[in-house]
């Protein structure tokens, strides 16, 4: 029979071993929690989810530009589109000996009297709206539609139409849709159409009302003299506000 003291002595070493195993196991669990998870230990679904980029922040909506009609107006509007301010404006005839009156017979407009052949130039930056290269005026025919003879109308970038008629010639390259700059020559002073054989340019300021034969608007609806006075002195008085106000009140009349 084995003494109890001997049995107790054989079992005693098991306690340290057991405690050591528990300590190692606990340390291993703690280390596993602290280490970053490796891709090899993750499921395919988890990897696909992690690799997908985060959804982008929704960008603010961008307003689309307002469409405009060929005459420069916005659909449904009663006047030219918002105008660019500060555009350069120049006197429409490049000559020293130019005379004009502050008024005109029957409707707003101005006759710029100068020698035939003097340059008629673009008042401001813009594009050509209409060109007449043929003198169709006949005293026996209807008075109005062909009175201007050879003529050019320009839609400025300020939304205003500038019209010059009775020209002796329209320059090459000046055609519908062409872009021009302030001071660029469009033609030359003449006496075509109903000019009464006097060299001059009839000058008119109006809103664009294309799409119909609107000669009664094109010839002028806003008195030009105060603008001509400014441009002649090197100033930059702009008619856009007056033209916009006129169109809001009158629209585009279908007849004179």
Quote the pLDDT of residue 84: 56
* Residues 201 and 91: beta-carbon distance below 8 Å: no
Reported pTM: 0.69
The CATH number corresponding to 110-250 among 2.70.70.10, 3.40.50.720, 3.30.1860.10, 1.10.1040.10 equals: 2.70.70.10
Interstrand relation of 161-167 and 200-206 (parallel, antiparallel or unpaired): antiparallel
Show pLDDT as tens, one digit a residue, over the chain (256 residues).
444 444 444 444 444 444 444 444 444 444 444 444 444 444 444 444 444 444 444 443 333 333 344 344 443 333 444 455 689 999 999 999 999 999 888 899 999 999 999 999 999 999 999 999 999 999 998 889 999 999 999 999 999 999 999 999 999 999 999 999 999 999 999 999 999 999 999 999 999 986 557 999 999 999 999 999 999 999 999 999 999 999 999 999 988 8
Q: What is the reported pLDDT for 76?
A: 37
What percent of the chain shows pLDDT beyond 90?
A: 60
| DSSP for 93-128, written as a single string | B--SS-B--S--SSSS-EEEE--TTPEEE-SSSEEE
| Residue 129, SS3 per DSSP | strand
Domain ranges of the chain: 110-250
Would you state the pLDDT for residue 235? 96
Element (H, E) at 23: helix 14-34
Give the CA angle between residues 95, 223, 192 to the nearest 5°: 50
């Amino acid at each position: 029979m084995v003494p109890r003291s001997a049995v107790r002595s054989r079992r005693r070493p098991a306690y340290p071993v057991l405690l050591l195993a528990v300590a190692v196991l606990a340390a291993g669990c703690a280390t596993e929690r602290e280490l970053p998870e490796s891709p090899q230990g993750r499921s395919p679904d988890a990897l696909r989810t992690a690799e997908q980029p985060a959804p982008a922040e929704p960008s603010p909506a961008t307003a689309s530009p307002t469409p405009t009609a060929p005459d420069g107006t916005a659909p449904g509007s009663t006047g030219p589109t918002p105008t660019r301010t500060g555009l350069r404006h120049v006197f429409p005839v490049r000559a020293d000996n130019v005379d004009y009156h502050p008024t005109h017979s029957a409707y707003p407009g101005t006759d710029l009297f100068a020698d035939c052949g003097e340059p008629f130039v673009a008042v401001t930056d813009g594009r050509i709206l209409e060109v007449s290269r043929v003198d169709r005026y006949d005293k026996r025919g209807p008075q109005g539609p062909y009175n201007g003879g050879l003529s050019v109308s320009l839609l400025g970038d300020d939304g205003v139409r500038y019209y010059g008629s009775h020209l002796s010639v329209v320059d090459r390259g000046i055609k519908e849709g062409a872009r021009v700059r302030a001071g660029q020559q469009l033609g030359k002073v003449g006496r075509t159409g109903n000019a009464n054989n006097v060299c001059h340019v009839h000058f008119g300021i109006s809103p664009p009302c294309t799409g119909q034969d609107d000669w009664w608007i094109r010839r002028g609806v806003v008195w030009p003299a105060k603008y001509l006075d400014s441009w002649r002195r090197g100033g930059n008085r702009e008619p856009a506000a007056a033209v916009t106000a006129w169109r809001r009140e009158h629209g585009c009349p279908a007849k004179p």
